[in-house]
């Protein structure tokens, strides 16, 4: 099984583990189709919600005949509507994601596939998009357990050379998708134009946003020595450094500030932020950390 085959993304054990989980939204959204989630809307389901007075034209099937017998008045039984959930997973496919061992992109794909599978199992509407890639426009909306194979195949085909900025990619996403739901943005946030404007587009959509910040261990603890010319993988920008302990310390401080500022930006805007390293296994991330953050239960 080669590393880029779809089967590599999720192992059978992981699938079994994921089946028990469920995506949770902090907000209740209107779905498009009937699903397994209670909606704000009243509708047809087995779960009783309320009574209201009968008005002519109501469906006589929902009249509570027992009440009519006792009170001689018509009351209509209202039931909770069960709807599906819109789940979006956005994978940053910029060139910077193709670093690390395993690459951040692979890690992001694994994570997106895992969350997507949870959604599929619970009959949610799952859509996974590669950010900044042309492929994004053709992303299918998947539903049902049977779509797993399509999902894996699609996710696996994400290229690692997207050249659009985060801001442009998210803007494009928001224009194309107006539905409410959960969006999980998996990115390394390494965008020279900054991430705040990009995130504002998502916030404006009133989505339940989760930001998973993926970094590789070599970014957290750089393993560099000597006098180097660092070449940016995205824009070929060059930074000349002489590695010294002072510089390494300064880099660490900068990274810490960067993470902290991202966390603060997100928490102020109701975005759940989570930083993870690629050496943290995806199943543990999902079953432990994302559970703590309330994305799954």
Q: Does 248 bind other proteins (CB under 8 A)?
A: yes
Annotate each residue in 265-284 with x if it binds other proteins (CB under 8 A) or - if it does not, as one string: --------------------
Q: How many alpha carbons fall within 13 Å on the CB side of residue 134? A: 1
Min separation Cβ 156 and other proteins, Å: 21
CB of 224 to other proteins, least distance (A): 7
Joined tokens for residue 75: 């009351």
> CA 278, CA 139: separation in Å to the nearest integer?
25
The 10 Å CB-count burial string (b at 16+, else e) for 80-112 is bbbbbbbbbbbbbbbbbbebbeebbbbbbbbbb
Paired strand residues for 31? none
Cβ proximity to other proteins: between 69 and 239 the closer is: 239
Exactly one of 45, 156, 233, 287 binds other proteins (CB under 8 A); that residue is 233
250 binds other proteins (CB under 8 A): yes
Containing 87, the helix (H) or strand (E) segment is strand 86-92
Site for other proteins in 171-230 (CB under 8 A): 188, 190-192, 216, 219, 224-230
- The number of CA neighbours under 13 Å toward the Cβ of 35 is 28
- For residue 243, state whether it binds other proteins (rule: CB under 8 A): yes
Torsion angle (degrees, nearest 10) of CA 144, 23, 187, 211:
150
d(CA 181, CA 86): 4
Site for other proteins in 126-165 (CB under 8 A): none
CB of 3 or CB of 236, closer to other proteins: 236
Q: How many CA atoms lie within 13 A of 281 on its CB side?
A: 7
Options 237, 260, 264, 279; binder of other proteins; rule CB under 8 A: 237
From candidates 47, 178, 239, 268, binder to other proteins by CB under 8 A = 239
Helix or strand or coil: residue 106?
Answer: helix
Task: Report yes or no: 91 and 130 within 8 Å, Cβ to Cβ.
Answer: yes
Instruction: Please identify which residue in 244, 270, 281, 288 interacts with other proteins, judged by CB under 8 A.
Output: 244
| Closest CB to other proteins among residues 153, 193 | 193
- Kind and range of the H or E element at 154? helix 148-156
- Which of 96, 133, 147, 187 contacts other proteins by CB under 8 A? 96
Q: Is 12 in the site for other proteins (CB under 8 A)?
A: no
Instruction: Answer positive or negative: Cα dihedral of 214, 197, 87, 154.
Output: negative
Binding to other proteins by residue 261, rule CB under 8 A?
Answer: no
Which listed range, 42-50, 65-73, 96-104, 287-295, lies at the site for other proteins (CB under 8 A)? 96-104
Sites of contact with other proteins (CB under 8 A)? 95-97, 99-100, 104, 188, 190-192, 216, 219, 224-234, 237-248, 250-251, 253-255, 258
């Amino acid at each position: 099984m080669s590393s880029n085959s779809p089967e590599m993304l999720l192992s059978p054990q992981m699938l079994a583990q994921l089946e028990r989980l469920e995506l949770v939204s902090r907000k209740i959204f209107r779905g498009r189709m009937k699903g397994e989630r209670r909606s704000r809307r009243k509708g047809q389901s087995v779960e009783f919600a309320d009574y209201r007075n009968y008005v002519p034209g109501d469906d006589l099937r929902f009249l509570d005949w027992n009440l009519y017998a006792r009170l001689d008045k018509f009351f209509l039984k209202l039931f909770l509507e069960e709807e599906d959930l819109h789940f979006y997973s956005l994978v940053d496919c910029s060139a910077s994601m193709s670093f690390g061992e395993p690459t951040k992109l692979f890690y992001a794909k694994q994570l997106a596939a895992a969350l997507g599978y949870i959604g599929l199992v619970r009959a949610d509407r799952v859509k996974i998009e590669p950010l900044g890639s042309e492929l994004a426009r053709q992303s299918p909306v998947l539903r049902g357990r049977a779509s797993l194979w399509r999902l894996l195949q699609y996710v696996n085909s994400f290229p690692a050379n997207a050249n659009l900025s985060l801001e442009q990619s998210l803007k494009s996403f928001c224009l194309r998708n107006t539905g409410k739901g959960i969006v999980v943005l998996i990115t390394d946030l390494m965008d020279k134009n900054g991430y705040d404007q990009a995130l504002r587009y998502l916030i404006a959509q009133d989505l339940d946003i989760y930001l998973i910040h993926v970094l590789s261990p070599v970014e957290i603890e750089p393993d560099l020595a000597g006098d180097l010319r660092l070449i940016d993988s995205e824009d070929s920008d060059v930074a000349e450094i002489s590695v010294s302990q002072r510089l390494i310390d300064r880099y660490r401080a900068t990274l810490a500030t960067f993470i902290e500022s991202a966390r603060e930006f997100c928490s102020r805007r109701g975005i759940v932020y989570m930083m993870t390293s690629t050496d943290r296994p995806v199943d543990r991330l999902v079953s432990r950390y994302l559970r703590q953050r309330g994305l799954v239960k």
